[in-house]
Amino acid sequence: MARLQLQHVTRRFDNGQEGLSDVSLSIEPGSMVFLTGHSGAGKSTLLKMLIGAETPTTGRVLVDGSDVSQLGPKQMPWYRRQVGIVLQDHNLLEDRTVFDNVALPLRITHLPAKDIARRVRGALSTVDLSAKGHLLPRHLSTGEQQRVGIARAVVNRPRIILADEPTGNLDPYLSRQVMSLFHQFCDLGSTVLVASHDIDLIKDQGCRILHLSQGALVQDTASPEEARA
Amino acid sequence: MVDESRADSAQGATSTVIVGRPKGVLLHAWFADHARVAADTSLFVSQRLMSSFLVWLMVGVALTLPGLLWIAQSNAKAFGEQWPGSTALTVYMKVAAPAQSIIDLEGRLNREAEVERVVLTTPDQALQELLAQSDDSAFLRDALAAVGSNPLPASFAVVLTDNSSYLQLEALSRKLSAQTGVDNVVIEMTWLERLRDLSDLANRMGGALSVMLLIAAVLVAFASVRLAIESRLGELRVLALIGATPAQMRRPFLYFGSAYGIGGGVMAIVLTAVFLNQIETPLQSLLVSYRAGIEIAGFTPGFLLVILLAGWFLGVAGALLALLQRGVSDNPAK
């Protein structure tokens, strides 16, 4: 069974514009897939649908066969706890330290404090921020804030990782490091979907690429003809 | 990090994403989350001590008046009950009124529905009491000897039932004044009756005012929690995205409401104590002038508990209103 599946999904906004137009795709467990396209192509809308923050106007968004848009307010949190999301604008809590920001997904699951500390230290080490756990986000550079967001997304070992431009503010070395981290999670069975503009970085990864244009899926390298191209 | 994840066999391609609440995480999780939120709330309030103090003061002032009214009401009631003589009339007969008219009047008084008890004081008894109370009884005896007869009249102390109103008292007084042999009828403690009427009026007005003040307390908590929600919208969005439940997102704000309400309750207790302390001495002095030695009651542990609970309830009500109005649990991840 596909882990993530979109079946003829269309998202029409109040102003009549279509964020997504009849998109169908399927992503297998343990795979890493890139989502590309210009600004406004529908990448963020697609990721929001997968996290349940947007609902399709028509079509279905399925995760392991369950329709995400049908999840009620009591079910949605339990689903989201298994999804790590990296947002373009970081969304860090300014009045909490880096450590506390990363610990947030673990605290809401009531993990014991010592386990939280161990996991947060591990996540910070992965993104090269071990020495900055005590700082507030405003004391970090944009790139460092981005890495905190990534650490927060992976700290609870999610089954699905959705990343919206995760390397947008990172230098090439750190970008490759983050991609390597995502690959490692893939090896463990997590499904990773990364929205990115960085074509060079994407090509280096050798992964399946979905290309969106004006809300429509115009290219999918998973299909044999696209893969050959 | 990843190595640790590798050890977690639950993760992997073969495991399915759970889209419902897993079993067996309820009670422990509930307590743990409350403890975490309580700590966060304490930190939030302590970091904004001045603004929190102002909220406590506003809620406290709004709670103080109803509390004082309650104390005043219970004391007025106790005062009426503990008054040495209950509502009564004293009927003075004419000097040397015939014994038969005295007996007739006593019989008539005993038949009146609103009369509870009648105590007759004969002229001789009155004289003996007068002599006993006089500092210079020898002088008084000489004076009485010069008069040659007892100049004091017989009198009836008429004690009325508790549910007799002042109007009934006046009607009875007029009726008795018209009786043969009656010289004068004095209504005792009319001021107490008037005090009761005034107290009733004050209670009704105070009740309405109290309701308005309690609504004001709810609105203060509402506005404060609403501000807290607005200042934490970003946090709510993040919490929703990482899987916080609606209850987890509401909980901090309910705790803010509780903190504001209970703090307001403590403030109300302090204000009430200060007020009672200020009025105690002049009130005692006033009561002594009426030969009553009743102490102010009502500031009991029960009262303190009620005020704290009322404060908590109002704070939570304000917080719930703010959450309802802001729709915190309606997918802020959008």
Domain positions in chain B are 31-81+195-326, 86-188
Residue A80: which of B248, B273, B198, B182 has the closest Cα?
Answer: B248
CATH number for B86-188 (one of 3.40.50.1970, 1.10.150.240, 3.90.226.10, 3.30.70.3040): it is: 3.30.70.3040
Which of A66, A77, A122 is closest, CB to CB, to B244?
Answer: A77
Does residue A227 surpass a pLDDT of 50?
Answer: no
Helix (H) or strand (E) holding B318: helix B301-326
Sequence-separated (6 or more) residues with CB below 8 Å from residue A7: A24, A59, A60, A61, A62
Does residue A198 surpass a pLDDT of 70?
Answer: yes
Residue A60: which of A70, A73, A72, A48 has the closest Cα?
Answer: A70
Q: Residue A221's pLDDT is what?
A: 84
Q: Residue B294's pLDDT is what?
A: 59
Closest chain A residue by Cα to residue B244: A77
What strand order describes the sheet that includes A58-63?
A: A18-27, A4-12, A58-63, A66-67
Query: What mean pLDDT is reported for chain A?
Result: 88
Q: Residue A114's pLDDT is what?
A: 86
Per-residue pLDDT averaged across A90-118, rounded? 89
Alpha-carbon B90 to chain mean position: 35
Q: Please give the residue that has the higher pLDDT: either A211 or B164.
A: A211
Closest chain A residue by Cα to residue B22: A78
Which of A25-34, A117-126, B285-294 shows the lowest mean pLDDT across its residues? B285-294
Closest chain B residue by Cα to residue A30: B13
Q: Residue B180's pLDDT is what?
A: 83
Does residue A37 surpass a pLDDT of 70?
Answer: yes
Is A125's CB within 8 Å of B1's CB? yes
Does residue A229 surpass a pLDDT of 50?
Answer: no
Is B17's CB within 8 Å of A54's CB? no
Which of A78, A91, A118 is closest, CB to CB, to B237?
Answer: A91
pTM: predicted TM-score of the whole model, two decimal places: 0.69
For residue A209, what are the β-bridge partners? A34
3-state helix, strand, coil in chain B (%, to 5): 70, 10, 25
Q: Residue A224's pLDDT is what?
A: 47
Q: Residue B179's pLDDT is what?
A: 86
Which of A53-62, A130-139, B297-306 shows the lowest mean pLDDT across its residues? B297-306
Q: Please give the residue that has the higher pLDDT: either A189 or B253.
A: B253
CA distance B220 to B214: 10
Q: Please give the residue that has the higher pLDDT: either B293 or A52.
A: A52
**Cα A94–A159–A112 angle (5° rounding)?**
60
Is B246's CB within 8 Å of A185's CB? no
Is B237's CB within 8 Å of A189's CB? no
For chain B, which ranges sit under pLDDT 50?
5-14
In the block, residue with structure tokens 């596909």: A2
pLDDT band at A102 (very low <50, low <70, confident <90, very high): very high
Write out pLDDT tens, residues A76-98: 998 999 999 988 787 899 889 99
Identify whether the C-beta of residue A223 lies closer than 8 Å to the C-beta of residue A24. no
3-state helix, strand, coil in chain A (%, to 5): 40, 25, 35
What value of ipTM does the predicted structure carry? 0.85
